[in-house]
Every structure is written in structure tokens, then in C-alpha cells.
Amino acid sequence: MNNVVGSQNGVFLDGQSTQNTISVNNVLENVIDLNNANGLPTNINANQYADNSCETSNPSGLCIGR
């Protein structure tokens, strides 16, 4: 588990990053907490996001919102 707080992008994966799993992290108080290639749908680059406590993501729906 990681804590990422107070940044522009808490966790950012670029468009060439594929088949990564980002899970069980606290990513809070960033401009964008989780950012998958500036909004690229996860089915395009096969990145997976699971059980991350965050509030904002691009695309939406990557946070569990704790």
C-alpha cells in the first residue's frame, strides 16, 4: 500500500503503459488522484485499478471513494 497526497497527478500511467495493476493505495488530495493516460479507457491499455481509496480519476470510476 502506498500513500500519495498533494500532487498534480497522484498516480499517472501514460498511453504506452500496458497491463499494469494499481491496487490498494491511498491516493488523496491530488488534482487528479488516478490518471490512466489522460482519460484513456482501461480496456484500451489493459491497466487495472482495484481497491484504491481516492476521489477523482480520469477516466471516472477508478476510485472506491473511501
pLDDT digits (tens, 9 = 90+) for 3-13: 999 999 999 99
Contact 44, 13 (CB under 8 A): no
Residue of 52, 53, 44 whose CA lies nearest to 21: 52
pLDDT at 44: 96
- Name the strand (E) or helix (H) holding 27: strand 26-28
Distance CA 2, CA 16 (A): 23
- 41 cis-preceded (ω within 30 degrees of 0): no
Structural domains counted in the chain: 1
pLDDT for 66: 56
Q: How far apart are the C-alpha atoms of 16 and 4, rounded to whole Å?
A: 22
Q: Evaluate whether residue 63 is within a structural domain.
A: no
Q: 13-65: per-residue pLDDT in tens?
A: 999 999 999 999 999 999 999 999 999 999 999 999 999 999 999 999 999 86
> Domain range spanning residue 54?
3-58
**What was the pLDDT predicted at 65?**
65
Residue 65 domain-assigned (yes or no):
no
pTM over 0.75: yes
